[in-house]
Structure 1
Amino acid sequence: MKYKNLKTTLSLALICGAMQLNAQTIKVEDAANLLKAKQGSVVLLNDFFAVKPADIKYEKMVLPGPQFIISDDPEYIRIPEAIALQENVQPGSVRLYVYNVNGVKEPVKIDRKITAVIKNTGKKKMHIRMLKYSSQKPSANYFQIGKQGLSDYFASNGSDEIRVVEPGAAIAIDEKLERNVVKYDELTHGFYDFVIDQPGQISIIQTDLKTSGPVALSRIKTVIPTGHKNAGRGLFGVSNYKITAVDVLDTKNGAAEFIVADGVKDPWVKGIEGTSGKESTLAGNYGVIYDMELKWKSTDGKGLALVTWNSRSADNQWCNGMAATMIVSKGKFKEGIIQLPNDRLVTKAAPEAILVQVFPPAKNGEEQTIKLTYSPPGASCLPTPLVFIPVDMDKLK
């Protein structure tokens, strides 16, 4: 996964032939292109991102949620057979995010299996049921896996199947991972919410193609030490946030943006890495679900176009693309899950922006509510700003 703190400086620019949006300007032709664009498509906003939009101040509340485990350290598993993560969980709901790559290249590159296993450490039979499920075919196309994985997770309704694990026994959490062939440099990506009724131990294992995860677990005695070089690893104390804008956004005040998962305004969540017992930082807040709410009104008759963009493209080679997925409330387009972008693999750099939704003004000028469900996109550098741009929907038809 890719993350960096936002430390860039944006310069001011004068834009000729533009429509005034108070603190910020957008060219008339660019606003027209936004209104004509299909949802999820890339639109060019020339010079728009030269001016930083106003920050939307928000309150952040931790919501009740599952025990949250992420496996992304080491991201590249260099040892042919090894445990890359091992964490104990208690009865209740669990979220597991697997983000690991077959990194074996010495003495030669070889195919591997990367799988997730849960062992029943209780004294009674464990019952396990999947609440949400997302499992991707291994690939070197990390951006596609990241946005498709979130899309499948958001769309999942889980399963009614209840599996039983005897005391002391272990099973694969995801049978697809057991069957997958992971070639060198390919990513294994799984995102799961499930519920258990006995204490358990979760392990992420790399092994050979013929050995099942539970069998490999029985013979591997050590866990790879954490290197603190990637997004994170361990059991974390936050899995869900509620983000509520403090003020009502008025279109007359110009463009404004939500910034979450930047490590500054929205700090990284903390946890414990089970093998070492030391504090762990989830750099990027990947796998954390943000339920976001914003009230807005239009005192000047304008609507709101919601876009996102790759604000990190200039930082380094790892930030040259961005792809995301989120759930957005109804506007010009219907409510639902949208992959960003959906007309190509990634967005690259400004002036490119991705149109998420267009919200028409209320005829009577009353307040409206926008709701979003967001999670930091795997494989992309953060943050991915959510920018609300006032647009004159009558004049620009």
Structure 2
Amino acid sequence: MGLLSLALGLAGSAAAQLQLTFSVGQPGVRINGQGAQITAPQIVDGRTMLPLNDTVLLLGYHLTRNGNVVSVVGGDLAVDLGSGYATVRGQRQGAGNVAVLNGKLFVSARVIAAGLGGELSVGDGSVLTLSAQPRGAFVPRPPATPQPAAPTPTAPRPSFPAPSPAPVPGPVQPAPPQARFSTDKASYAPGERIIWTEYSYDPEGGGLTARNWTGKQDVYWAPGNYAVSLQVTNGKGQTSAPFSRTIRVQGAAVDTPVTHALRYGQIGDRFADSRVLTYPALTMGQLSPRPVPLLFSDSPEKPQQSGVLYQDQVSGEARLLGYHVNDLGRPARMYIMIRNLESRPVSVALNRQGETAPSRIEGILGQVTLMDYFSSPARSTVNLAPGQVSALYASPTLNPGHGVSILQDLQSSGRVVVSFVMAEASLPMNDATLRSLPYLPLDGRHQRGTFQGADRPMTAQLGQLPARVVIGDGQHDPVLTGRDTVTGAGQRLAGNYGVLYDMEFTGASGTAIALSPRGGLYRGAMRIIDGDLTQVIKLPREGNALTPDEPHLLWRAKSDRVRIQFMPSNGSALPVNLVFYRLPEGTYKWYQP
């Protein structure tokens, strides 16, 4: 902010002009060019505040106190410390003109001007000028004036001191940035949304590079007074003085954390709801699934030698999911190899693919793979001669400890053998190498096998809400069973990883959908079709979903019929709940495009 000028002029022709100049947040001031120090002026609730005692002393006044009332001797200003209000000529001034900062009494510059019989005007460049009648010894002496010649040499001459030389100005320092913000109201009810408007600026025309808020919240849940302050920093590293306001919260609550989040929360926000498990589980109608097998390879999850991880035959549609970490102790690659078993040419079309490699972070492997998969266009087609072997997928080189997640939907025009392989990066992957590799044993902790029913179409009518859809718990949501064709052993697909839940909900208009993690850290993705809007969204939109009683807001439905395609994310913990809420009236935003 530019310099504020405080000028006091003496009445009458013999009066001298007294000017006090200062900058907000700076203790150094000047009186007609002469330096002085006061407690730094501040901005409080949008008002420029001066330290009362320092200011009146500079102007030649002084303070007296009677009980809780502090008065300016010779002026018309008084402050009642008990009520926190100032009076000018007996008239009570508005709230917010008095503040105690670090034990020191501050009063607004405008009220001080009025209390000293002055006027405050605004000039160019945000300069304020206060004209008032100065008092006391701080009135500067008039400068010397020329005198007529004396009639006799012995006649006494009046003696005037020579004027002081004008101070030599130092280098001009750039003005610091100024923090500013406002709210849409002066007081709020508990649970009421607060609209913050920031309008900080840099007087030198530069940009602001940082903002530091203290005490700011979008909503306060308990009655009381809440101090909020803001400091901003510009590109030169200058930081503003704190700008503060007090938020008053009183009266009856207008929202709970749940209704506030549903009404105003941004998509991706999390909110407190400890009652999720008390909401009824929706009864999902099971539709006839398409006969799509899932070939799942996750054991051994961390192979320690080159070999075949899993293998089976497919014809027609199939889904492949491989999830492995290189534990060979040297660089390796993962492959999905296909061999034509027919006596005729066979084509294998890759309809959809999601992949993550390499990564050491398990949660990233599953989430990025699903984001890729749901947004994937149709890929290439591989044509195989009878008996021919080809790579349907080859990962980048995986250093020890790096993992890969690969998810594919394919369609074959004939019988092919699909092999999931981990091999040293130096090995050429061809028919001879594939035939020489051993089948690796299960690790005893994870699954592999072929499971029927990779697509699970379902439908539900939304009625009484809140309600939830439970995924991956093994009870409300039964696990797929299948067989490991390498060993012939039966397998249970805990978590149903790789299963596509294709869910259609009717009666969805005016509802919100949230994700509640129930088993631990979860990071995934889903595809949603809401009327003419189709979008792939991250679950959650930012960071991790971890706390069971803090659902993440995913969507606000605008259509009566909403379709959700969800697949459990490998590398994340299950179960999860999709929670449906009825939106309250006056909801801020229906959906997130």
TM tier relative to shorter chain: 0.7 to 0.9
In structure 1, the partner of 2:308 is 83
| Equivalent position to 1:282, from 493, 511, 527 | 493
Q: Distance in 2 between matches of 1:147 and 1:31?
A: 29
1:342 aligns with 2:568: no
Find 1:93's aligned residue among 284, 303, 317.
Answer: 317
Q: Distance in 1 between matches of 2:347 and 2:587?
A: 60
Name 2:505's counterpart in structure 1: 294
Q: Is the 8 A contact 1:31 1:396 kept in 2?
A: no
2:470 pairs with 1:259: yes
Q: Is residue 340–residue 346 contact of structure 2 (8 Å, CA) maintained in 1?
A: yes
For the Cα contact (< 8 Å) 1:293–1:372, is it kept in 2?
A: yes
C-alpha distance 237-47 of structure 1, shift in aligned 2 (>3 A): closer
Taking every aligned residue pair, what percent have the same amino acid on both sides? 21
Contact (CA 8 Å) 1:62, 1:240: kept in 2 or not? no
For 2:44, the equivalent position in structure 1 comes to: none
- Aligned equivalents of 1:158, 1:134: Cα separation in 2: 11
How far 1:396 sits from its partner (Å)?
7.0
- 2:263 aligned with 1:71: no
What is the TM-score of this pair, normalised by structure 2?
Answer: 0.53
Segments of 4+ in structure 1 off by > 6 A?
A: none
Which residue of the other structure, out of 459, 466, 485, is the alignment partner of 1:244? Answer: 459
Tell me the CA shift for residue 274 of structure 1.
0.9
Matches within 5 A, 1:138-177: 138-159=358-379, 161-175=380-394, 177=395
Residue in structure 2 matched with residue 369 of structure 1 by the alignment: 561
Partner of 2:331: 111
**1:336-369 CA distances to partner (integer Å, 9 max, x unpaired)?**
111112222x122144322111125x8xxxxx22
Q: Could you tell me whether the CA contact under 8 Å between 1:261 and 1:284 is conserved in 2? A: yes
Counterpart-to-counterpart distance in 1, 2:514 and 2:494: 24
Q: Is the 2:327–2:400 Cα contact (8 Å) retained in structure 1?
A: yes
Q: In structure 1, list runs of 5 or more residues that go unmatched.
A: 1-16, 20-25, 313-318, 363-367
The answer (yes or no) to whether the contact 1:207–1:216 under 8 Å persists in 2 is no
Instruction: State the one-letter code of the partner of 2:416.
Output: G
Return closer, same or farther for 1:227/1:309 CA change in 2, 3 Å cut-off.
Answer: same
Report if the CA contact (8 A) 2:191-2:260 is conserved.
no
Query: Is contact 2:263-2:586 (8 Å) kept?
Result: no
Aligned to 1:34: 262
Contact persistence 1:205–1:213 (CA under 8 A): no
Residue correspondences, number: 338
Deviation of residue 112 (structure 1)?
1.2
> Is the Cα–Cα contact under 8 Å of residues 143 and 380 in structure 1 kept in the other structure?
yes
Pairwise mapping of residues 2-17 of structure 1 onto structure 2 (< 5 A)?
none
Work out whether residues 524 and 538 of structure 2, in 8 Å CA contact, stay in contact via their aligned partners in 1: yes
Residues 68-101 of structure 1: CA deviation (Å, up to 9, x unaligned): 201011111122x111111122x31221111111
1:264 positional shift: 1.3
SS at match of 2:517: coil
1:230-282: CA deviation from partner (whole Å, max 9, x where unpaired): 1x21111111111112xx323xx331001132211221111121111222221
Using structure 1 for the length normalisation, give the TM-score: 0.78
Secondary structure of residue in 1 paired with 2:324: strand
CA distance in 1, matches of 2:301, 2:257: 44
Give the 3 Å change call, closer, same or farther, for CA 46–271 of structure 1 in structure 2: closer
Q: Which gives a bigger RCO, structure 1 or 2 (Cα 8 Å, sep 6+)?
A: 1
Deviations 1:160-217 (A, max 9, x none): x432222222111114x2xx11122222111111122232211111111122333531
Whether the 8 Å CA contact 1:308–1:387 is kept in 2: the answer is: yes
Tell me how far apart the structure 1 counterparts of residues 587 and 498 of structure 2 sit (CA, whole Å).
Answer: 41
Q: 1:28 to 1:396 in 2, by over 3 A?
A: farther
Q: Is the 8 A contact 2:281 2:470 kept in 1?
A: yes
Q: Kindly indicate whether residue 588 of structure 2 is the aligned counterpart of residue 388 of structure 1.
A: no
Equivalent-residue separation in structure 1 for 2:587 and 2:331 (angstroms): 58
Superposition CA RMSD, Å: 2.5
Deviation string 1:39-86 (CA, Å, 9 cap, x unpaired) is 3x132225444x52111111223411433201011111122x111111
Residue identity matched to 2:385: E
Q: Is the 8 A contact 1:88 1:202 kept in 2?
A: yes
Identify the match of residue 127 of structure 1 among 347, 369, 375: 347
Q: Take 2:423 and 2:587, find their aligned partners in 1: how far apart are those partners?
A: 62
Runs of 5+ consecutive residues of structure 2 not aligned to the other structure = 1-189, 193-253
What residue number does 1:43 align with? 270
Shift of 1:330: 2.3
